[in-house]
């Protein structure tokens, strides 16, 4: 057993263990059983250390709640990933890339998970059906980008990870491999020197991490991110807008700036999906636009993620922006800058060159033939 697997075994993965950790006055085991049975729980030592008090950002993200049982307009497969799945473990929604689910498990389980219908269940993300996924990718030359997810791809052993990398690199048209993982926040010990040495053989490989609150960037996590960056892996970050956790411009600004210091480029800020069991995490779209307005211009542009809604029903990511343009016509554009000041940009005067007159070639006039006199007219 490797060191990171030993650390993982120290996780809290039952309600009784949770009650022992935080007290039965805070953890009502009987009341939480239905939520636990709907979606399993595992909380790593790294996350446990981040929980400072009941109801803080880490508590809300990982401790089961009876609110998960209140379903109003939530949908089990809110993004209709299964509808775009031609073979097991593959979702092919966009023209040149596919999502490849390669692991059913995570180090810790986020209670807002959009894939909670299948994450944690090896029968729903089967490890014995990789071949059909590889065959599908190989048969579709338009696929140049493969995103590895699950579950968490980084929960595989180094041997398992390398097998996936090797199979993908044997497909000539696969240009980019991306890893979607929250492992650096959940289990930074997983980023071993051995993994960092192995992965360099299969570049270009990118990693999209996942951070929702500044407190998640602990010294151990930042060190793990540094090891990945030093191994030549470009790092991006996904963030989910969560009510009562990070729906505050000051918190989000601190998070984005800390990510950049850790050599991670903020990539997407997602509206929380309309997934059944996670509705209590959702805030308004207006709040997301307010946060982007508080970032754009007030901090480095590199610290401003794309704010998107992953369209319900499988429409894909749709970017949302604050409205800076007040009016636009052929002469000028009137807009506001980040501070709300109004400016005018004059439209260029575009002149269309006059068409040269068309000169038709002259033809020589044809001589008229002498008319023949008709008999009897003389």
Catalytic-residue membership of 106: yes
Where do we find the tokens 């343009």? 325
Where do we find the tokens 């901090």? 299
Give the active site residue among 13, 77, 93, 167. 93
Q: Quick one: which of 193, 206, 108, 129 has its CA closest to 165?
A: 206
Whether 370 has a pLDDT exceeding 60, the answer reads no
- Quick one: pLDDT at residue 367? 56
Residues whose CB is less than 8 angstroms from the CB of residue 177 and which lie 6 or more positions away in sequence, other chains included: 146, 148, 165, 168, 169, 202, 204, 205, 206
- Quick one: pLDDT at residue 378? 39
Catalytic-residue membership of 97: yes
Percent of the chain beyond pLDDT 70?
Answer: 94
pLDDT 10s digits, 293-338: 999 999 999 999 999 999 999 999 999 999 999 999 999 999 999 9
Catalytic-residue membership of 117: no
Whether 375 has a pLDDT exceeding 70, the answer reads no
CATH superfamily of 82-325: Aldolase class I (3.20.20.70)
Catalytic-residue membership of 196: no
pLDDT 10s digits, 15-67: 999 999 999 999 999 999 999 999 999 999 999 999 999 999 999 999 999 99
Catalytic-residue membership of 317: yes
- Quick one: pLDDT at residue 1? 84
Neighbouring CB atoms inside 10 A of 229's CB total 16
Domain boundaries, the chain: 3-69, 82-325
Concatenated DSSP letters of 8-56: HTTSB-SHHHHHHHH-TTT--HHHHHHHHHHS---B-HHHHHH--STTS
HEC letters along 266-304? EEEEEECCCECCCHHHCCCHHHHHHHHHHHECCECHHHC
Catalytic-residue membership of 94: yes
Give the active site residue among 62, 106, 190, 282. 106
Catalytic-residue membership of 158: no
Concatenated DSSP letters of 98-114: EEEEEES--SS--TT-T
Catalytic-residue membership of 80: no
Give the active site residue among 110, 117, 136, 182. 110
Give the active site residue among 94, 163, 206, 324. 94
Give the active site residue among 115, 118, 253, 282. 115
Residues whose CB is less than 8 angstroms from the CB of residue 371 and which lie 6 or more positions away in sequence, other chains included: none
Give the active site residue among 17, 144, 169, 317. 317
Average pLDDT over residues 205-231: 98
**pTM recorded for the entire structure:** 0.90
Average pLDDT over residues 170-195: 98
């Amino acid at each position: 057993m490797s060191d990171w697997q030993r650390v993982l075994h120290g996780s809290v993965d039952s309600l009784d263990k949770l009650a022992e950790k935080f007290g039965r006055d805070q953890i009502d085991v009987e009341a939480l059983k239905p939520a636990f049975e709907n979606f399993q729980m595992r909380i790593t030592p790294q996350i446990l250390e981040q929980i400072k008090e009941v109801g803080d950002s880490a508590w809300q993200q990982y401790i089961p709640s009876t609110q998960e049982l209140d379903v109003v307009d939530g949908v089990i497969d809110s993004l209709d990933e299964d509808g775009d799945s031609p073979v097991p473990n593959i979702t092919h929604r966009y023209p040149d890339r596919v999502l490849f689910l390669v692991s059913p498990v995570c180090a810790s389980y986020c209670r807002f998970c959009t894939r909670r219908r299948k994450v944690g269940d090896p029968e729903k993300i089967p490890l014995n059906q990789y071949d059909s996924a590889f065959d599908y990718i190989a048969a579709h030359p338009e696929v140049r980008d493969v995103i590895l997810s699950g579950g968490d791809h980084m929960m595989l052993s180094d041997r398992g990870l390398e097998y996936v990398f090797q199979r993908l690199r044997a497909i000539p048209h696969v240009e980019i491999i991306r890893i979607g993982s929250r492992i650096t926040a959940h289990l930074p010990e997983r980023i071993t020197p051995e993994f960092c040495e192995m992965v360099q053989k299969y570049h270009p490989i990118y990693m999209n991490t996942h951070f929702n609150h500044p407190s998640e960037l602990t010294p151990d996590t930042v060190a793990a991110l540094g090891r990945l960056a030093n191994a030549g892996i470009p790092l991006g970050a996904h963030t989910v807008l969560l009510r009562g956790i990070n729906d505050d411009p000051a918190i989000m600004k601190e998070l984005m700036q800390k990510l950049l210091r850790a050599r991670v480029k903020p990539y997407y800020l997602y509206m929380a999906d309309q997934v059944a069991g996670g509705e209590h995490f959702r805030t308004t779209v207006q709040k997301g636009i307010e946060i982007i307005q508080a970032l754009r211009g007030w901090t480095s542009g590199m610290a401003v993620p794309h704010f998107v809604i992953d369209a319900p029903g499988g429409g894909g990511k749709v970017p949302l922006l604050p409205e800076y343009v007040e009016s636009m016509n052929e002469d000028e554009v009137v807009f506001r800058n980040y501070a709300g000041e109004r400016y005018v940009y004059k439209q260029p005067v575009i002149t269309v060159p006059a068409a040269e007159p068309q000169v038709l070639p002259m033809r020589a006039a044809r001589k008229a033939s002498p008319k023949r006199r008709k008999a009897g007219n003389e």
